[in-house]
A and B are shown apart, each in its own frame.
Chain A
């Protein structure tokens, strides 16, 4: 996740610069001198006696990250998903005031479909069941990924990635998004949760030699996080083609 955070930090660099510019008038000599005078007048005699300290130079470098719209590179990224995995991680339920974290276990198998390829995954992921105070079902309290299937493919309209997941209740979650470096980020409306709810998915897949894929799904309602699925997918076997293995007999 560290790389993902770096990317986010870099993407936010422009925002940081904008904030610095906004704060700049306060740093102008006139403004700073009046601020200094005010500070000095409010500071204790002991502090006032201290020599003035200068801040170290702060350099902010920002560069805009663009979504990768190259179909060849998008397909290369999709190829990184192929393989068999052991799932670890957690599912976090709650809005921050009272969160409960449940450990995740499971396995997944992602196979290539076609030459490009498209990716088809079968997953079996579970966590200890969690219910409400009166024994009622709560969203995300029970795993619906025992099993589930996910398909990932190139979105030729937007030059991004499109995916769809169908769980063991038959419910479909879908999304489309873009590649930002090694990270696929998608946003889509929630399924089964009313109101202003978004499902934000981030999948970080390193180049093929990497043995770890990190996936994070946040369910946010009115910008408040209700759930987080944090999956660490440890590769246990390399890729195989699904075209041959799943093609029916002719």
Chain B
């Protein structure tokens, strides 16, 4: 009983101390402790983010041609270790940039904001064992309202499905995911799609791989999506019901 009373008294003392410390932290005597958002505020923020994502997704709809650069590293890294001397810095061959172009065709799914895209490339496929955009690719984009985030699933010619989760930051959505095997654990992919209103869509694909935990090898695809003559992106097309 006595022990209980002591513990209650000590807790009260701690509470008083904490309140006085928080209040005295600001010279004006105003508490600087931020009040946590109420559940209603959190929900309102979530709903607004979902709306923003819906607006953003609709910007992707249309038929585009893309032009850009596809930079693939040769991954030929050399490190010379002479006897009795410290190892020389690792030398890696720079990636060879290559022009890339193709067609990007996206439709809305029904009247919703979900987007289905087919990407066709005119480039020849180099390495059939690696996922890339050299061949035709299908992309499905939709919203996970609970997180909230945009889900992105890419299906390549080999039937391999890669999945990414992206968050809206201004006019851009950044998707992150580990690489598809056999790239290994030291590999990650970042896809950044910037889609401002009334401007070309900028699509950036960065695959970063650590070689020997030292050299950072990056595959970079940088595309601008321009409205094609056949279809304007301002007029969203949707899958017919």
Q: Hey, which bits of chain A sit against chain B, CB under 8 A?
A: 75, 78, 113-120, 122, 124, 146-149, 151-157, 162-172, 174, 189, 191-192, 194, 242-243, 246-250
Roughly how many angstroms separate A153 CA and B140 CA in the complex, as a whole number? 12
Roughly how many angstroms separate A250 CA and B161 CA in the complex, as a whole number? 24
Partner of B143, one of A122, A152, A170, A242: A170
Interface range, B side: 35 or more
Instruction: Output the least CB separation between A205 and chain B (Å).
Output: 15
Q: Which residues from B are CB-within-8-Å of A191? A: 144-146
Does B151 lie within 8 Å of A174, measured CB to CB? yes
Q: Which residues from A are CB-within-8-Å of B109? A: 147-149, 166-168, 170
Does A250 lie within 8 Å of B122, measured CB to CB? yes
Does A151 lie within 8 Å of B155, measured CB to CB? yes
Partner of A166, one of B54, B122, B141, B181: B141
Does A172 lie within 8 Å of B57, measured CB to CB? no
Does B110 lie within 8 Å of A146, measured CB to CB? yes
Roughly how many angstroms separate A115 CA and B155 CA in the complex, as a whole number? 12
A149-B109, A164-B163 known; A114 and B136 CB under 8 Å? yes
Residues 139-177 of chain B, each 1 if its beta carbon lies under 8 Å from chain A, else 0: 011111110001101011111110100000000000000
Does A168 lie within 8 Å of B120, measured CB to CB? no
Q: Hey, which bits of chain B sit against chain A, CB under 8 A?
A: 54, 57, 63, 102-105, 109-116, 118, 120, 122, 135-136, 138, 140-146, 150-151, 153, 155-161, 163, 178, 180-181, 230, 239, 241
Does B145 lie within 8 Å of A171, measured CB to CB? yes
Instruction: Output the least CB separation between A51 and chain B (Å).
Output: 65
Q: Which residue of A lies closest to B63 (CB)?
A: A248
Does A122 lie within 8 Å of B153, measured CB to CB? no
Q: List 16 A-B contacts (CB under 8 A).
A: A113-B157, A114-B136, A115-B157, A115-B159, A116-B157, A119-B159, A151-B153, A151-B155, A166-B141, A167-B110, A168-B109, A168-B110, A170-B109, A172-B143, A172-B150, A189-B146
Instruction: Output the least CB separation between A115 and chain B (Å).
Output: 6
Roughly how many angstroms separate A239 CA and B141 CA in the complex, as a whole number? 25
Instruction: Output the least CB separation between A23 and chain B (Å).
Output: 44
Does A153 lie within 8 Å of B118, measured CB to CB? no
Partner of A249, one of B103, B135, B145, B241: B103
Does A248 lie within 8 Å of B118, measured CB to CB? yes
Does B160 lie within 8 Å of A151, measured CB to CB? no
Roughly how many angstroms separate A247 CA and B145 CA in the complex, as a whole number? 30
Instruction: Output the least CB separation between B76 and chain A (Å).
Output: 25
A116-B157, A154-B161, A156-B180 known; A171 and B143 CB under 8 Å? yes
Does A154 lie within 8 Å of B114, measured CB to CB? no
A118-B138, A172-B143 known; A154 and B159 CB under 8 Å? yes
Roughly how many angstroms separate A146 CA and B241 CA in the complex, as a whole number? 7
Partner of A172, one of B114, B138, B157, B158: B114
Q: Which 7 A-B pairs have the closest CB atoms?
A: A153-B161, A116-B159, A172-B142, A168-B110, A114-B157, A170-B113, A166-B142
Q: Which residues from A are CB-within-8-Å of B122? A: 250
Q: Which residues from B are CB-within-8-Å of A172? A: 114, 140-144, 150-151
Roughly how many angstroms separate A89 CA and B106 CA in the complex, as a whole number? 32
Q: Which residues from A are CB-within-8-Å of B120? A: 247-248, 250
Q: Which residues from A are CB-within-8-Å of B57? A: 170
Roughly how many angstroms separate A189 CA and B135 CA in the complex, as a whole number? 32
Does B116 lie within 8 Å of A149, measured CB to CB? yes
Does A153 lie within 8 Å of B155, measured CB to CB? yes
Q: Which residue of A lies closest to B139 (CB)?
A: A151
Q: Which residues from B are CB-within-8-Å of A155? A: 161
Q: Which residue of A lies closest to B118 (CB)?
A: A246
Sample of 12 more A-B contacts, CB < 8 Å, known A167-B112, A171-B112, A191-B146: A116-B157, A147-B241, A152-B161, A157-B181, A166-B112, A166-B115, A166-B141, A168-B109, A168-B111, A172-B142, A174-B163, A242-B138
